[in-house]
A and B are shown apart, each in its own frame.
Chain A
């Protein structure tokens, strides 16, 4: 058991994986537990940027840097909204209920056991994967040939949502 762990951790790539996945999980947990909006946004940013780290480890650089590009901007916007539209002071915590906590504990232990057993029994089919140097180009070609209709539909949908948001905001202004 312990030897397995040492074997696993002596590989530099695995170590990086552990660090990044820990950061992803820690960021997500903090996001739920923190009290102030700006702190939550920072926790969320940790999660998203560490996810980009995981993508880099999977040889998906394009996806990783697009992830950072999109979410770094999104985080900033979210933070601005958080600052402008929420109260500046810390919110009072709700009184804790004992029964609630016990149920939570039982639920999470149960969930852990189910997941643990499922993962233990699962068989992961291993495929030979060759990383492609030109994966950015490949994504582009796939996106604009085979998937072009869904791609264009999504962009139309986003444009509609965008214009709709502007119209709603304008109407409130008048």
Chain B
């Protein structure tokens, strides 16, 4: 019975995530359109609300092609390896104090461990297509995701030190009582590094080199079409969801209200507000910034972000020791 209930909840989460992805894409196109003085999608349904639904439908009924010279088995496996971890990492995310699927005591580690599996899927997709552009895209993607995972993990060590736990629920609990207790203030360096590294992990502009269409046609998924392509895209947007939720939890106080007298508003509303503003922020920088050059990308990761993250850990440790 309990198992059945869990499966139903997981299915419910899948529906929520799919709904999020559908409307995040719509919202993204609208926001970028607005910033670039265009209208964005406005034909399918009222205000173009059904545009993404139509796009997904088109992808699903498209002919499924597998190149003749591709490695058939790995070509089919790659989107699965990419998507499954993206969805599985959502299990430990606490939306409110008791609305969480699994409160692991190593929740944060679980997130980073599983999300690194997706890189294998992307590289595999690039290799299995047997196409030089997709291979280049896959290689770039792997190099970028591995280089930026290091500062990403390092930047949250400060948060772990402050809360003394790897459990996401405990980390949020430590930030109760007003926005001055949220981690982004004492951990401002960590917060900035986290945001930059997270955008890079998501392969979004200004770090979307793996999909630089002017150089690589499309990146690691050149040869994919139909629902396999949809799976890669879905994984990318599920990671947007996951990173936005994780930023909310680690740095912006999760479900806590910014001022104590606003506590009467339920926690889930606060969570959704913070979550949405981060998603909006991601779209905003995509519309604003140009793409970074590949050698700049690597030197930014290794020469700037990583040393800064290490210094941040060091300083945080000393301050905690002094004021203990």
**Contacts from A to B (Cβ < 8 Å):** 36, 38-39, 42, 45, 49, 61-62, 65-66, 68-69, 72-73, 75-77, 79-80, 83, 133-134, 136
Contacts and interface: CB of A to CB of B under 8 A. Distances in A.
B119 interface: yes
A47 to B, nearest CB: 14
21 contacts: A38-B71, A38-B127, A42-B77, A61-B104, A62-B106, A69-B109, A69-B116, A72-B113, A72-B116, A73-B116, A73-B119, A73-B146, A73-B149, A76-B123, A77-B146, A79-B120, A79-B124, A79-B142, A83-B127, A83-B139, A134-B105
Given A76-B145, A136-B105, 11 more contacts: A38-B74, A42-B120, A61-B110, A62-B109, A65-B113, A68-B113, A69-B116, A79-B142, A83-B127, A83-B139, A136-B166
A80 B113 contact: no
A79 B121 CA distance: 11
Contacts, number: 70
Contact of A72 (B71, B105, B120, B135): B120
A76 B120 contact: yes
Contact of A133 (B105, B135, B149): B105
A62 B107 CA distance: 10
B106 A76 contact: no
Contacts of A72: 113, 116-117, 119-120
Given A38-B127, A80-B142, A65 B106 contact: yes
Contacts of A83: 127, 135, 139
A61 B166 CA distance: 12
B57 to A, nearest CB: 33
Interface of B: 71, 74, 77, 104-106, 109-110, 112-114, 116-117, 119-120, 123-124, 127-128, 135, 139, 142-143, 145-146, 149, 166
A76 B74 CA distance: 15
A65 B102 CA distance: 15
Nearest to A133: B105
Nearest to A12: B3
Contacts of B77: 42
Contacts of A73: 116, 119, 146, 149
B127 A79 contact: yes
Contact of B74 (A39, A65, A75): A39
B109 to A, nearest CB: 4
Contacts of A38: 71, 74, 124, 127-128
